[in-house]
Amino acid sequence: MESHAEFLRLITLDEAFVDALRADWRTATLSPPDRAMLAYVETLTLSPGALTREDLEPLRAVGFDDVAISQIAGIASMFCYLNRMADGLGTGRG
């Protein structure tokens, strides 16, 4: 998570925003599309088997089309995989 936060800090130059996201994305100042995307990604990360086609409707409601939804799912899934690999190998831990 630290590397992701640091990257976001570098591209946004907004430390307060990054800190708010790290604390709780639900209370951070976000656009409706970003909020819908993060809610979906959270479920995809924590409870992927619970997702149904209906879970895509909030994404569509804020303007994401099927291509964008596929990209969101793919990128989030890849990060889940990479983080699991890094954790499994003890990377980044003293």
Q: Split the chain (94 residues) into runs of 10 and give each run's mean pLDDT.
A: 67 78 86 96 93 96 98 93 85 64
pLDDT for 72: 96
pLDDT for 1: 55
What's the predicted TM-score (pTM) here?
0.80
Return d(Cα 34, Cα 11) in angstroms, integer.
Answer: 16
pLDDT for 6: 72
SS3 49: helix
pLDDT for 94: 55
DSSP letter at 55? G
CATH of domain 31-94: 1.20.1290.10
Return d(Cα 40, Cα 30) in angstroms, integer.
Answer: 14
pLDDT for 80: 85
